[in-house]
Each structure stands twice: as C-alpha cells, then as structure tokens.
Amino acid sequence: MSNRFLETAVAALHTLRCDPGFANPGTRVERDLFSFSHLEWMRHIGVLDRTGLTLPLYARMLTSGDWSRLPSATIKTLEKRRRDNEIRMQGMQETFGHAARALQQAGVQFVCVKGFSLFPEFLEEPWQRHQIDIDLIVAPADTIRAQAALEDTGYEVTAVAEDGERRLRIPVAKALSQDAYLYQQQQGGAIELHSRFWEGGAEEFRLNCPVDVFEHAEMHTLGSISFLRLPLAEAFFYQVLHVFRHFLGSWVRPLWLYEIARFIDRHRDNEALWQRVRMMLLEDPNTARAAALVLLTTNELFACFIPTALEGVCALPDDSPIRLWIRHYARRWVLTDMAGNKLNLLLQRHFFSDDRKWRRYLAGRLMPVGARPVLCEGMDQGIANGFRYRAANLRYRVRRVWHHLSTDAGFAVANILWEMQLRSRQNARVVPQLRGSQS
C-alpha cells in the first residue's frame, strides 16, 4: 500500500478528530485525503480496512460533513462498509449474548475487556469498529468451567497459550484470505479467555497490574446485553497494555492507538481519572516505560493530548532509546499491512534485563520454529482435510516463509542504522561531560 495514502488517512483522522483548539499545526501531508480519486481509494482501501481505520475515518467524515467531498463512488463504497459492519456487529452481539448467558448460568463470573466494552468511551458506536473475537477475563479457578460451558454451546478449543490464554471458536466451513472482505457476517464465534489482567506470554515480561479485576468491575449495557466491564481508568490501562503486548509480538493495529487517542480526547478534563491511571502506571518502572512507549507512539501518529497527570510518565530524555525509536521507526512499524515488520525488535532488547532470554527470544522471532502457522483456526475438520483448504493453507505457509525472509532482511539493515544512532547519541552525551571535566 502507498504509505502516502495511509499517512494521509491518519493525518485526516487527527484533523477531523480534534477541536480546532487542539489541532496540531505540525501535522503536514503532501496531499489532502479528499484529492484522491476513487480508483486510488479502491487500490488502497483493503489495507486501510485491515488497519481498522476505514470506518472510524468515515465516522469522523459524517460528523464533520466532509464526506460530501469524496467521489460519489467512494461514498457508496464506504456506506456499504458501514451498513455491512453494522449487521456484522449486531450478529456478533447476539453471539456474545448467547455466550454470556451460558457463562452466567454456569455460575462463571467474567469481565468483558476490549471489544464490546469500549463503547461509547473509546468509539461512539459499534459499527465504527471491526473486531474478530470477544475477550473475557475469568477467575483462574473458573477457567475450566467457563470452557465447558462454552463447549456445551458449540465452541471448541483451538489453542492454549503458554500464558494460559484459551482461544475457542465455533467451527467454520470457510477460511478467509488476507484479502477477503472484512465486513461480511462472522461465521460462528470466537472467544478468548484470559485469567489475568496482564499475560506476558513467552516474552516473560512481568508487569505489576491489578490483581482482582472483579472488585471494581462495573455493570455495562450494550443493546440487550448486560455484562461486567472494567472501570474507565482500568479500561484505559488495559488498552495501553494490550498495545504493548502486541509490541512484544509482531503487529499492532493502528485502530487500537486511535481508540486510545479518542478516549483521551473525550476525558482530557477528568483529572481524577488521570490521577488514577498515573498511580497504576507508576507501580513499577517497567509498567511506566511500557506506557510511555504506547502513549508517545499514539502522540506521534495522532497528535493526542497528553494529560497533565501523565506528563511525568512520558517525560523521557531526548536521547532515550524509546524516544529515538519513536522518532525514526514508530510510523514505519505501525503504518504497515498485516503481518507487519520486525522493526519493533530494535527497541525490544531494552525491555529485557536478561541477555540470554533476549537472545533466545530474538532467535525465535527471526527464525520461528515449532507449530506450523494455519490459515484459519477452528476449521470444520472435514473441510480442513479437503484438498481446497490444504492447498490454500500451503500457499499461506509459503507466504509466511517469504514474510519472515523479507522482514528479517529489513531488520538486519535497520539494526545497523539503529546501532549507529545509539552510538551517536552516546557520543553526544560524552562530549559535554568531557568538556565539563576539562574546565
């Protein structure tokens, strides 16, 4: 995808999102988003869909009235996506309702995180958000009971991660390719069961986070469904850590950063909220650094307001590796198509205190071994054994091999430049110290 188009879309989201008084005069792009032809939109809209930004962008255009500046064919395309995703999200809400009732009848207490818990504080309406699964936190003692309750309604376990996360899905008969239309009605349903606020996974990265999420959970109603969700401060904290967890992985959806920016916009004057967030972020240095990375990256992309209470968390030295990486690599890492690139590895080493763990992790990211990737988890077994799916799965695995080869090469080149940049920063610090000692 043309990075220019995606950069322009991100800049437009910032401009349309903010009140004039909060506009960032430093945001500049070569072209106005509304100058792109319908053909250019069609050439790039698939990647914009996968970033999650298409519908939030259209929502801001509808609010501002700027939608009328688009080519008429583009308006029809965006309006179709709006209608289709509205139907898709209604279907997912019904699926969520069935699952929620099954868990409640089994006596399982759960808290919904991300997804349906985000409205209207992060995005105003469900049609503005494309999502794939439903995330629930359940007490560790209830995990097996929750799994059994969902299995009774047709779900099957597709994966159990090292950190305890369980993924379940109602078997599907059709696998979607990367280029598939994202807004068609979801087949079956997909649920992730989490047992803790933070799951560091194989990265073995520990953070101090709330332990008893049920103590302060609040009841929320969306349509006909009532469920527990996190309070505002904890919900924001969870979203920040969700982005950071993906930073420790391979790809972050720009939508998640935009949601953080929208939340800050809506609650920028709520000083009590930000003081509560600040207390959680300062629980330990690792948590503060993780939050600084996410907030400063969000600011880099969407020029979001940094609440006064969080300015200290984000007040990193100009020569810190986090600021250096954000300045040179954050946009290139975030503004890319699935499955991303490996530029985040340049900075990740600074979050590992054990060199041996870091080297083992780096080797696993550059040359992944073990379980083979699959095109679609939760496929009906009869369909999965068929020739058509096996051929599609083979093509997917070949693309994954090529992805790793190409991104490894890109990382190798970037790593040389990164080391030079770090040494340059170190030398810049040493020179003033030498001058001071000589005087």
pLDDT in tens, 306-351: 999 999 999 998 889 999 999 999 999 999 988 889 999 999 988 8
Q: Is 196 helix (H, G, I), strand (E, B) or coil?
A: coil
- What is the reported pLDDT for 42? 96
Domains of the chain, first to last = 1-70 (no CATH), 92-230 (3.30.460)
Which pair of structure tokens corresponds to residue 36?
């792109």
45-94 pLDDT, tens digit per residue, is 999 999 999 999 999 999 999 999 999 999 999 999 999 999 999 999 99
**What is the average per-residue pLDDT within 146-167?**
91
In tens, the pLDDT along 128-153 reads: 999 999 999 998 899 999 999 999 99
User: How much of the chain is in helix, strand and coil states, percent to nearest 5?
Assistant: 60, 10, 35
Cis check for the bond before 272: say yes or no (omega within 30 of 0).
no
21 Cβ contact partners less than 8 Å away, ≥ 6 residues apart? none
Q: CA-to-CA distance for 233 and 250, rounded, in angstroms?
A: 27
Pairing label, strands 218-222, 134-138: unpaired
Say yes or no to pLDDT of 178 above 80. Answer: no
Place of tokens 């322009």: 8
28-37, 189-198, 204-213, 380-389, range with greatest mean pLDDT: 189-198
The pLDDT confidence band at residue 392, using thresholds 50, 70 and 90, is confident
Hey, what are 438's tokens? 């000589």
For residue 115, the model assigns a pLDDT of 94
Mean pLDDT, rounded, for 161-179 = 81
Burial 391-409 (b: 16+ CB within 10 A, else e): eebeebeeeeeebbeebee
Q: What is the DSSP letter of 328?
A: I
Query: 222 with 93: CB under 8 angstroms?
Result: yes
**Regarding predicted confidence, which is higher, 68 or 385?**
68
Q: Looking at residue 300, what is its pLDDT?
A: 95
Better pLDDT: 368 or 101: 101
Q: What is the mean pLDDT of the chain?
A: 88
* pLDDT score for 348: 92
pLDDT-derived band at 2 (thresholds 50, 70, 90) equals low
How far is Cα 381 from Cα 279, in angstroms, rounded to an integer? 49
Cβ(231)–Cβ(114) below 8 Å: no
Q: Is the pLDDT of residue 25 over 70?
A: no
